[in-house]
A and B are shown apart, each in its own frame.
Chain A
């Protein structure tokens, strides 16, 4: 499989040699932002079970100061290079006498070269290589974007939300082909990406580097409908089989009597490899309103959107015996605010997985220990607000019960979710200056 990957890379090299530009157009622009963010976990789950009134991180305070710098160089008419990094200081105060956790970190946020034929935003053909942000659901502001391992895993299932970062960051190759007609704007993305570290600590390094192949399709119709679908062959090409599909330690159990399942005489083992399917759609309700009334709304108002992803198409024994329980479904709506704010989105999610959502890299075996939260954690909600106060200066805020995990300055997440009970919630506020 690795030689297929090498061949694809070299197949990319040769056409790029032939498609040289005649006109250099060097232009370098800088961009970035700086922000101060604070938030608090008002009510979190209790490690002693739902019956215990004391949450593990009640009133914990989370604070961030970050600075990002990005370079955007138009090297040639069709060639662009983008790079940037972010430096941050994160402070987490757990309270109850626990020491304050302060971390400083630098992270690479983008390092890619982009070659485009046609319009940059709706290209006839575009190739990008490197490390880049990727978002397929344009309106999701907090929940959703489940397709990539950066945000959601299949075996064993987990979902990660990160405030104001509702996208994936992928390392590898992206090929895009687009076609715009009077009524349709079609886009096809092919991605060959290498899994990067998600999480903190050495354990989070398990399985990094594995290559995932994804194919996504999107069609914007009549300026009001948007439908998209995708398939992702997660960890299709493993770099180290022992980390991706261990040969021991993670047996597949039979649904009936918990006996191990045998394959050719050997105990069948669970794997972190998976096939994921995605469907998303949105509708701009303003198109159905009288023009005079619609003009009073901002461009993001009145958008109804949704997304569903199958986190692992294959069933394995007792643990993964119902694919319907591995499908998170998200619905969102941008509440009209008549241009008083940029937008306010309300999102709801249902994920029927009946096991733990603890994120343990490289471990495909789930836990079903019921601490009273397994049924309560199936429902999530979030309200996200953005308001631009002056040129470059904005305020963003979120309140909700989502898949919040504490993160350090560099964006690495902890393994546990803290908002699992019906009454669990948190809020975050960010003051940001962009340039």
Chain B
């Protein structure tokens, strides 16, 4: 609610500035409205494992409004809100005679930031400082998976995917430095608003370089919970470290912590860049066609003692994603197939717990649990109408009653277990979104 109030206040300040007499403020509105439906077709979990049953129907209607106000030559204020209605309909489970349904209204801030840009050339601003609440995406090629640096945990190493929202939403300070063309660095000092431990500050540094039109690569490091506002929340004294996998505690008892270091590396190849013309072979390739991209991350690196027991190896903490933009020849804007692998050790994490909850070394999982895939397509027409869709087996999670983003806004109340629902072969879901944008 505080974020919502702040965003609403910023909206009205923006309006006031925009309509004030003798004002030089330029306000550009934008927004969209969408209707989305989807279905969890098959899941391996049972509902008593905090999962939705098979064939659960997910439907929503959402309106987004954003105002971008250039209040000064170097200053811009961006504010936006999202209103929506969510509905879930699940069929009966087990011997139950009837299924269940839930419906909720949501309001969430989209963006509430002020931006100061240095430099007179709007096409190349060497330094840019932003403060507030903002979306952040470092891998332009990723369409569903990837973006691991901010959409994951370290301890435990959960991963989150959200349909048509392959980015993070961060609160804090963001400094972008672009000393030369095609080279940029991002430094972020962010405050955790969604996941535990909420309130802690993390420091992240990313760099990226584009080599002509062929290669785009980057790397980053994130020091999660570098500054703890409540050490008892950052390192709860409820999950001691087990020195070995049999659960025997040897020596002094230490405790798992949410604090951790995440590393990320990514690369994207645009095969069109090898040809003089992007329309090689006489085919009308779109700007997103013929790309191959990948991203990997280590979720929790170099902790003292190696966190024996649950996290004593890279197993489960090292996802690798590979994606291909299949040529759609402008029939679609994006048509991508993404595949991810991580050696799964556990399939269930609590967002508010530093340890997994299905026991040490679960033998019930097979290698297929670590394989994820998704097929994503989108098309925006010139009149603002857009269609996007996905089907796949990704890190799909329950959407809480109060937010359209999985596991957020109230992770301790709903989706506290944060169970992945698509684990084994044959598990999959789909979603389709119809939207109007302006």
Question: What residues make up the interface of A, taking CB atoms closer than 8 Å to B?
Answer: 9, 13, 16-17, 19-21, 26, 28, 30, 71, 73, 75-76, 78-79, 81-85, 105-108, 110-113, 115, 129-131, 171-172, 194, 196-197, 202, 204-209, 239-240, 242-243, 246-249, 362, 410
- A131's partner among B29, B61, B384, B434 (CB-CB below 8 A) is B61
* B83 surroundings in chain A (CB, below 8 A): 83-85, 106, 108, 111
A17 nearest CB across to chain B (Å): 5
Whether, in the assembled complex, B387 has its beta carbon less than 8 Å from a beta carbon of chain A, the answer is yes
Which one, A75, A110, A196, A206, contacts B438 given CB within 8 A?
A: A75
Q: Mark B289-331, 1 if CB is under 8 A from A, else 0.
A: 0000000000000000000000000000000000000000000
Asked if B44 is at the interface (CB within 8 A of a chain A CB), the reply is no
Total contacting residues, chain B, CB less than 8 A: 43
Chain B residue contacts of A106, Cβ below 8 A: 83, 105, 107
Evaluate contact between B384 and A75: CB separation under 8 angstroms: yes
In the docked arrangement, what's the CA distance between A110 and B436, Å? Answer: 14
Provide the bound-state CA to CA distance between A208 and B385, in Å: 27
A109 to B311, CA, bound (A): 48
Q: Kindly provide the distance from the CB of A210 to the nearest chain B CB, expressed in whole angstroms.
A: 8
Cα separation A164 to B244 with both chains bound (whole Å): 67
Q: A242 to chain B: which residues have CB within 8 Å?
A: 91-92, 96-99
Find out whether the CB atom of B33 lies under 8 angstroms from the CB atom of A108. no
Taking CB atoms, residues of chain B closer than 8 Å to A13 are 385, 387, 434
B379: min CB distance to chain A, Å: 8
Q: Which residues of B contact A172 (CB under 8 A)?
A: 35
Check: B241 CB closer than 8 A to any chain A CB: no
Within 8 Å by CB of B101, from A76, A108, A113, A240, lies A240
B65 A71 Cβ-Cβ under 8 A: yes
Which of A26, A202, A207, A242 is most buried by chain B, counting CB atoms within 10 A of its CB? Answer: A242
| Nearest opposing residue in chain B for A9, CB measure | B434
List chain B residues, Cβ under 8 A from A249.
97
Residue of A19, A110, A208 near B103 (CB, 8 A) is A208
Q: Is the CB of A108 within 8 A of B63?
A: yes
Q: How far is the CA of A110 from the CA of B84 in the complex (A)?
A: 9
**How far apart are the CA atoms of A248 and B97 in the complex, in Å?**
7
B49 interface contact, C-beta 8 A: no
- Known contacts A21-B383, A78-B383, A131-B35; can you find 8 more A-B pairs with CB under 8 A? A19-B383, A71-B29, A81-B32, A84-B63, A108-B61, A113-B435, A240-B92, A242-B91
Verify B438–A26 contact, CB threshold 8 A. Answer: yes
Q: For the complex, what is the distance from the CA of A106 to the CA of B90, rounded to whole Å?
A: 25
Is the contact region of chain B dominated by helix, strand, or loop, or is it mixed? strand
Residues of A near B102 (CB, < 8 A) are: 202, 205
Q: Is the CB of A362 within 8 A of B98?
A: yes
B434–A73 CB distance below 8 A: no
**12 A-B residue contacts at CB 8 Å?**
A73-B29, A83-B65, A84-B63, A85-B83, A85-B107, A115-B383, A130-B63, A171-B61, A206-B101, A208-B103, A242-B98, A243-B98
CB pair A243–B438 under 8 Å, yes or no, is no
Q: A129-B434, A171-B61 are in contact. Are A207 and B33 (CB under 8 A)?
A: no
Cβ of A131: which chain B residues have Cβ within 8 Å of it?
Answer: 35, 61, 85
- Nearest residue (CB) in B for A202 is B102
CB of B35, distance to nearest CB on chain A (Å): 6
Minimum CB distance partner of A112 in chain B: B33
Instruction: From known contacts A196-B103, A240-B90, infer whether A108 and B85 are also in contact, taking CB-CB under 8 Å.
Output: yes
Picked from B84, B89, B385, the residue with its CB within 8 Å of the CB of A113 is B385
CB of B360 to closest CB in A, whole Å: 37
A115 to B32, CA, bound (A): 14
Closest Cβ neighbor of B4 among chain A residues:
A106
Cβ < 8 Å to A, chain B residues 46-80: 57, 59, 61-65
Which has the most chain A C-beta neighbours within 10 Å: B32, B64, B92, B434? Answer: B434
Residues of A within 8 A of B64 (CB): 83
Q: Quick check: is B381 within 8 A (CB to CB) of the other chain?
A: yes
